[in-house]
Amino acid sequence: MIDKKNIILCVTGSIAAYKSVYLSSALVKSGANVQVILSKSAKNFVGESSFSGITHNPVITGYYDSKTDLSIDHIDIAKKADLIVVAPATANILAKISLGISSDPIVGCILASKAPVIVAPAMDGDMYNSPQVQKHINELRRINIHLSGPEKGRLASGINEFGRMTEPEDLLEEIIEKLSKKKDYEKINAIVTAGGTIEEIDPVRYISNKSSGKMGIAIAKALRDRGAKVTLIHGKLENKSDTYGIRMVSVISALEMKKEIENHVENSQLLIMSAAVADYRVKNFSKEKIKKESMNSIELEKNPDILKEIDGNKIVKVGFAAESEKLLENAKKKLSSKNCKMIVANDITLEGSGFGSDNNKAVLIDENGQENLPLMNKIKLAHKILDRAKKYIN
């Protein structure tokens, strides 16, 4: 899918720059024509010859670089580019891109190009969370620059925080996704649900579940990238990053989620329910904190089955089935009893899959049969779900 695509890889001065050597190699192996721009400070971490050796293209290191001739200067490559990737992106380059300060060929190239841009930040966690960096990140999202990561993990300083550059193989997936982007959900209004609902017991305590909302957010992002207008109705979420362009509606309980879905269903053509909705709520919510001595039992009452109650003749419904046993049998029952066009069945006992994980392993089930998918990241799975659901959308 990226064969013969012109990709500009901009590398800036971070310890993560070595990952871009792998990335450039993976891109070249996939058939892309890769042109590297190396910032001055990046040269402290990686060498020009690594990139020129891998890409078979001269590396641009400055505006007045005697090695480069007119046929590969920053304006020329900017016009031919299919995609620009800045990885790793330091706080410095984020600020410059956001403000349009074109003192180096990386920003000059981005300004002169109409190609989409992916930026993969890498820096210290506190630096990343600083108000200044966050301000620039928000501005980049506003101008439709795609942010990849950063991921949480061990940083060069030794702390475990958000700030790690996306791994090259995951970035490659995102690049492929971006370049093969179909707009097949254009003109579709979609509702996606994500996260776990919260059923309050008293002002302090509640009943909920392990859902992080990652699966639902991945579906919302995939729909957005494929042209749909997306409303994400969500319970508690672990992370809301990169949800620009998605209308976010926050709810607490299952009853609130139901009400919001009903408010939006009239003008929508697709409902994908990946939220983990609590099946029961507390019968008598206590306005006062219940004393532990008197908390012997909690009386519950059944919540409505939202997915089942939404009329499947008015909107295309895609449900999930979170199972710990008899995956296919239970999921097939949900397909018919909830009148869905498709069920995404996931075994929530599999390690590295399901609740809270970045990956998921699922079986897509509809009237035409089933598609057993391997373990994959949730963004990739989201696209697989949309590929199969497409035939149900007019």
Q: Which residues bind ligand PMT (CB under 6 A)?
A: 211-215, 254, 273-277, 279, 303, 305-307, 319-322, 334, 346, 348, 354-356, 360
Nearest residue (CB) to ligand PMT, 186 versus 238: 238
146 touches 115 (CB < 8 A): no
The distance of closest approach from Cβ of residue 123 to ligand PMT in the complex, given in angstroms and rounded to an integer, is 26
Residue type, 264: H
178 touches 118 (CB < 8 A): yes
67 DSSP assignment: T
The distance of closest approach from Cβ of residue 227 to ligand PMT in the complex, given in angstroms and rounded to an integer, is 23
| Both tokens assigned to 157 | 């300083």
Q: Which residues pair with residue 232 across a beta bridge?
A: 192, 248
The distance of closest approach from Cβ of residue 319 to ligand PMT in the complex, given in angstroms and rounded to an integer, is 4
Matching residue, tokens 């897509």: 364
| Phi, psi angles (nearest 5°) of residue 360 | -155, 150
Q: Which residues pair with residue 117 across a beta bridge?
A: 84
Nearest residue (CB) to ligand PMT, 37 versus 343: 343
Give dist(CA 64, CA 330) in Å, integer.
65
The distance of closest approach from Cβ of residue 11 to ligand PMT in the complex, given in angstroms and rounded to an integer, is 32
Give dist(CA 7, CA 2) in Å, integer.
9
| End-to-end CA gap in the chain | 27
The distance of closest approach from Cβ of residue 172 to ligand PMT in the complex, given in angstroms and rounded to an integer, is 22
* Helix ranges (DSSP H) in the chain: 17-29, 48-55, 74-80, 91-99, 105-112, 125-129, 131-142, 168-179, 214-225, 254-265, 306-309, 327-337, 378-389
Nearest residue (CB) to ligand PMT, 270 versus 277: 277
Give dist(CA 137, CA 83) in Å, integer.
19
The distance of closest approach from Cβ of residue 384 to ligand PMT in the complex, given in angstroms and rounded to an integer, is 13
SS3 category, 220: helix
Helix 168-179 / helix 17-29 crossing angle, nearest 10 deg: 50
- Among this protein's residues, is 6 annotated catalytic? no
Give dist(CA 54, CA 7) in Å, integer.
14
**Is 301 buried (19+), middle (13-18) or exposed (0-12) by CB count in 10 A?**
exposed
Which position among 33, 209, 303, 346 bears the catalytic label?
209
β pairing state of 300-302 and 280-282: antiparallel
The distance of closest approach from Cβ of residue 120 to ligand PMT in the complex, given in angstroms and rounded to an integer, is 22
Which residues are annotated as catalytic?
209
